[in-house]
Amino acid sequence: MARIVLENLSKKFVRAIQGENRRPKADGEMRGASPFAVSAVNLTVEDKELLVLVGPSGSGKTTLLRMIAGLEDVTSGAIYIDGARANEVPPKDRDIAMVFQNYALYPHMTAYENMALGLKLRKFARPEIERRVRSAAEMLGLLSILDRRPSELSGGERQRVAVARAIVRQPKAFLFDEPFSNLDAQMRGQMRLELSKLHKRLGATMLFVTHDQVEAMTLGNRVAVMRDGTIQQVADPLTLYQRPANMFVAGFIGSPAMNLWRGKLWRESANVCFHGKAGNGDAICPIRLDDGITAALQNYVEKEVVLGIRPENISVDATPPEPASRVATGTIDASIEVIELTGPEIYLGLKTAAAQMLTARVDSSFTAALNQKVTLFLDMQRAHFFDPVTEKLITHPLPP
């Protein structure tokens, strides 16, 4: 298998001249004023690793994948596959298999013929083709449908045929371009499980692109978060969730997303308190910070910050505390604006007295009603703080 290294990789698209024909836009092309779909990306996919590239639509994920596959030219930077520079190597010689979002199966061929076609074009012997196709079909549970055409297959079966077609090539690396986006939720979950097991069985190098952060968190050994053509953070899923590098990663990773609340830090006697901003700009709702967090925020006292807190770190209580204990305990008043039932949990959309909307995750046994007045307790030991200008993380939660 192979190690893939990207060094300062960029892709710049040139605006079309009037009357000039040009190809359709790629993912992330011509966003806003920037002509760069991918900008100075440095990324390493280790040998036998499953790395997931995640980001919103238009962030440049597909363009990056296509450059690795050789389907897009590189504007600047370098691609190394198994230690060799691949910028000028034709796609067919890079020994990389790509699985597309739309399956790309030939409708007039059976599943077997679709899987075997690449090997036939490479002049493999018939017994070797038979062995590889049968082996891949058994691995993915396709033996019973090898004689069927794509129109006779379900979406999940077509996707598995596309994956099997890549497997039979036994390439150095696999590239997956949002392969499950056309499947229903249940089938997506099943295919994620199958791909995870397949990765362990093959010990293959895989780069998987998705816009679904749940898919990214459940699949990847590591996850690279992409925005506007740049890599924001690369880490294992737990680190991304617990220590996001900036506000974008904090808001993108996690479902529901992290609550982000702008405010200001003030020193009150021996304590430092966060004053969340109201919709009219007034600073209200003082919340005392834990001493351990305060030490890391000394340079931000009397300055604006952004408080980030996960929905599961907000407790909801219908019984208001004594007024004197509000700042000491970090409690604020709110009303329930939205109730989302998910089965084992309830997501509450809460509007504070500062007109700030917060989301809390509570147990399904919680009894709630719309417009109900509640008290929120923010676990400040689990709070994140970000710089509102650079959007970078200032301090992360204290160790448990």
Q: What is the mean pLDDT of each run of 10 residues along the chain (400 residues)?
A: 91 62 45 74 95 93 94 95 93 90 88 93 93 91 93 89 90 90 81 87 92 90 95 95 95 92 85 76 68 82 93 84 51 90 92 86 89 89 92 78
Of 384, 340, 358, whose CA–CA distance to 249 is shortest? Answer: 384
362 in helix, strand or coil?
strand
Do 48 and 15 fall within a single domain? Answer: yes
Which residue's structure tokens are 């003082």? 286
Q: Do residues 359 and 311 lie in contact, with contact meaning Cβ atoms separated by under 8 Å?
A: yes
Name the domain boundary from 219, 252, 285: 252
Of 151, 175, 157, whose CA–CA distance to 51 is shortest? Answer: 175
Name the domain boundary from 252, 286, 316: 252
Do 299 and 216 fall within a single domain? Answer: no
pTM of the model: 0.85
Domain range for 271 is: 259-395
Please indicate, yes or no, if residue 217 is contained in any of the structural domains.
yes
Do 107 and 124 fall within a single domain? Answer: yes
Please indicate, yes or no, if residue 152 is contained in any of the structural domains.
yes
313 in helix, strand or coil?
helix
Do 179 and 305 fall within a single domain? Answer: no
Do 219 and 296 fall within a single domain? Answer: no
What are the Cα distances from residue 35, in Å, to 43, 55, 77, 226?
Answer: 21, 18, 16, 17
Q: How far apart are CA 225 and CA 318, in angstroms?
A: 38
Alpha helix stretches (DSSP H) within the chain: 61-69, 111-121, 126-139, 155-167, 185-202, 213-219, 237-242, 247-252, 291-296, 326-329
Do 20 and 107 fall within a single domain? Answer: yes
CATH, residue 320: 2.40.50.140
Do 232 and 277 fall within a single domain? Answer: no
Of 334, 25, 70, 52, whose CA–CA distance to 199 is shortest? Answer: 52
CATH, residue 89: 3.40.50.300
Do 40 and 132 fall within a single domain? Answer: yes
Which residue's structure tokens are 């019973």? 144
Q: Do residues 259 and 314 lie in contact, with contact meaning Cβ atoms separated by under 8 Å?
A: yes
Say what the pLDDT of residue 380 is.
Answer: 86
Q: How far apart are CA 329 and CA 376, in angstroms?
A: 10
CA dihedral (85, 72, 252, 193) in degrees, to 10, reads -80
133 in helix, strand or coil?
helix
Please indicate, yes or no, if residue 50 is contained in any of the structural domains.
yes
Please indicate, yes or no, if residue 53 is contained in any of the structural domains.
yes
Q: Do residues 161 and 99 lie in contact, with contact meaning Cβ atoms separated by under 8 Å?
A: no
Do 246 and 384 fall within a single domain? Answer: no
Do 218 and 299 fall within a single domain? Answer: no
Of 377, 378, 368, whose CA–CA distance to 336 is shortest? Answer: 368
Please indicate, yes or no, if residue 237 is contained in any of the structural domains.
yes
Please indicate, yes or no, if residue 400 is contained in any of the structural domains.
no
Say what the pLDDT of residue 22 is.
Answer: 47
Do 122 and 160 fall within a single domain? Answer: yes
* Percentages of the chain per state (helix, strand, coil), in multiples of 5: 30, 35, 40
Do 57 and 173 fall within a single domain? Answer: yes
Name the domain boundary from 252, 279, 295: 252
Q: Do residues 51 and 223 lie in contact, with contact meaning Cβ atoms separated by under 8 Å?
A: yes
Q: Do residues 308 and 386 lie in contact, with contact meaning Cβ atoms separated by under 8 Å?
A: yes
How many domains is the chain built from?
2
